[in-house]
Amino acid sequence: MGAQAQRTEEWADVTPDAARRLLTAAVEAFAERGYHATTTRDIAGRAGMSPAALYIHYRTKEELLYRISGVGHRLALGILRQARDGAGTPAERLADAVRRFVRWHAEHHTTARVVQYELGALGEEHYAEIVALRRDTDGAVRDIIEDGVAAGDFDVPDVRGTTLAVLSLCIDVARWFNADGKRTPGEVGELYASLVLRMVGCAEDS
């Protein structure tokens, strides 16, 4: 699946068409240069429109970031919750969560970069809303690890610290992953799943 197909799928429910084109253009630009170094003229230009067209669909440049951040965070949270609530042993569910979470960060690394590294540019209220989503993200991973500890499958002296480390490890994939590199998103997900199982002292590897 090409990047184009990914994008239209990821933002499929954004209408009208021009608003979606502006959103995906903003994702690209923010990921490449960062929010503050991106101009509204650049975004509009990538979408094939004049700078003024942006303000018909979005009130400010910050609103674009907020929309992107919201969609991305809800998607990431959904992935982790689905893994947490799935069937299988805690080890299987943790591996599944990491595999899919990492895979998303690699496959959609442009979106993920904006989602994970540009939240500081959000306005105060929007920032607070996003931070709440991030707490839920943390909670989902912690739940799985606590299940594993309770079942006696994991050996984790510091649950909160280890949760933080696991999430940090996965998130940082968005920073270094390069689509032209030799690792596929699936391979990175597999590697990371096995590393994380080791981090929680899980007896058997999967």
Q: Taking contact as CB under 7 A, which single stretch among the options 16-24, 101-109, 153-161, 197-205 is the one that binds DNA?
A: 16-24
* Closest distance of CB 105 from its own copies, Å: 11
Residue 169 contact partner, candidates DNA, its own copies, none, CB within 5 to 8 A by sort of partner: its own copies
Q: Taking contact as CB under 8 A, which single stretch among the options 49-57, 79-87, 93-101, 167-175 is the one that binds its own copies?
A: 167-175
DSSP for residue 205:
-
Max intra-chain CA distance, the chain: 60
172-189 as b/e, with b when 16 or more CB fall inside 10 Å? ebbeebeeeeeeebeebb
String marking each residue 50-79 x if it binds DNA according to CB under 7 A: xxxx-xxx-xxxx-----------------
For DNA, which residue of 38, 116, 162, 163 counts as binding (CB under 7 A)?
A: 38
Instruction: Indicate the residue among 117 and 127 with the shorter CB distance to its own copies.
Output: 117
Q: Taking contact as CB under 8 A, which single stretch among the options 12-20, 70-78, 125-133, 173-181 is the one that binds its own copies?
A: 173-181
> Residue 126 interacts with DNA (CB under 7 A)?
no
Instruction: Indicate the residue among 8 and 50 with the shorter CB distance to DNA.
Output: 50
Residue 12's CB: how many other CB atoms inside 10 A? 9
User: Is residue 16 reached through a cis peptide bond, with omega within 30 degrees of 0 on the bond before it?
Assistant: yes
Instruction: Indicate the residue among 44 and 95 with the shorter CB distance to DNA.
Output: 44
The sign of the dihedral angle between the CA atoms of 90, 72, 122, 46 is positive
> Residue 172 interacts with its own copies (CB under 8 A)?
yes
CB half-sphere exposure, 31, CA atoms < 13 A = 21
**Residues binding its own copies: what is the number (CB under 8 A)?**
27
Instruction: Indicate the residue among 118 and 143 with the shorter CB distance to its own copies.
Output: 118
Region for residue 16 given its phi and psi (left: phi exceeds 0; alpha: psi -120 to 50; beta: otherwise) = beta
Which residue, among 71, 49, 86, 192, has the nearest Cα to 129 in the 3D structure? 71
